[in-house]
Structure 1
């Protein structure tokens, strides 16, 4: 991430930008992050999250639509470490995370609805590289995601 434009400035410059409903909490070691979206849809099982974070992130943001489930965590310290090692800028989870002290110590942006101590299931299911809709917006593959202390803003992918 070379330079960062605040979400407030982006919102002013792009009145049509999508802004996620402000229900997400900061759990990562990096308060500001941005990059192209890689989106997943999972349901209380995180093997797809793990396998994606184990691939090169190239400065992208992993967007995980966990259906807003508050029953278990889809991301924890181990998976967060994979994200750092593989060059991901951050992870947004429409669901829960755990190992919050570990996540806070990582050079990775993490936003989620809540913390939960229970790990997810391990069924290898879900969808990758799909459009996901939650918190009042639709995020499509390669859309630009910008996150800072003022919120989460999405701009359409540049063609």
Structure 2
């Protein structure tokens, strides 16, 4: 499947929310899309690890990490598990680590920055809730489309071109 977020904006603008351009690409796929699954955690990636250990079926995990710049919520081991479980992508309002390895993985990964320190697991976090980040409000069941131009959110699946 092929798409471009500018073309989708031109065609479906009234259906879309556009995230502020705060996220950087860290994964091996810069173009990815899928149904959204949400999570919220702060400096504890327990919920990220548990969710990505489940079958992803082409979905995108969107994590509100509170914009923390003090530790990473995703590293190579959890990202590798996400690939094995067929997640299409991960967007983190926070940091990632092991970026040299992340960019070799066939998955879309976006985050605010890289940070070498791992989070501390305390078993905290929430999933499947409405979150607000990068200027948009989204919830599980929305659809996310990301490419080099940005990230857009739709409440319904958009038709894409096959190439």
TM range (shorter): over 0.9
Structure 2: 5+ residue runs without aligned partners? 158-163
Q: Secondary structure at the match of 1:71?
A: coil
Query: Normalization by structure 2: what TM-score?
Result: 0.94
Q: In structure 1, how many angstroms separate the alpha carbons of the residues matched to 2:53 and 2:156? A: 24
Displaced runs of 4+ in structure 1, greater than 4 A? none
Please state how far the C-alpha of 1:60 moved relative to its aligned partner. Answer: 0.2
Residues 74-130 of structure 1 deviation map (CA, whole Å, 9 limit, x = unaligned)? 000001001100000010000000000110010010000000001001010111011
Q: Secondary structure at the match of 2:13?
A: coil
Matches for 1:72-111 after TM superposition, within 5 Å: 72-111=71-110
Q: In structure 2, how many angstroms separate the alpha carbons of the residues matched to 1:26 and 1:64? A: 15
Matches for 1:37-116 after TM superposition, within 5 Å: 37-116=36-115
Q: In structure 2, how many angstroms separate the alpha carbons of the residues matched to 1:157 and 1:71? A: 35
Could you say which residue in structure 2 is the equivalent of 1:132? 131
Structure 1: 5+ residue runs without aligned partners? none
Query: Normalization by structure 1: what TM-score?
Result: 0.96
Please state how far the C-alpha of 1:157 moved relative to its aligned partner. Answer: 3.5
Q: In structure 1, how many angstroms separate the alpha carbons of the residues matched to 2:65 and 2:6? A: 27
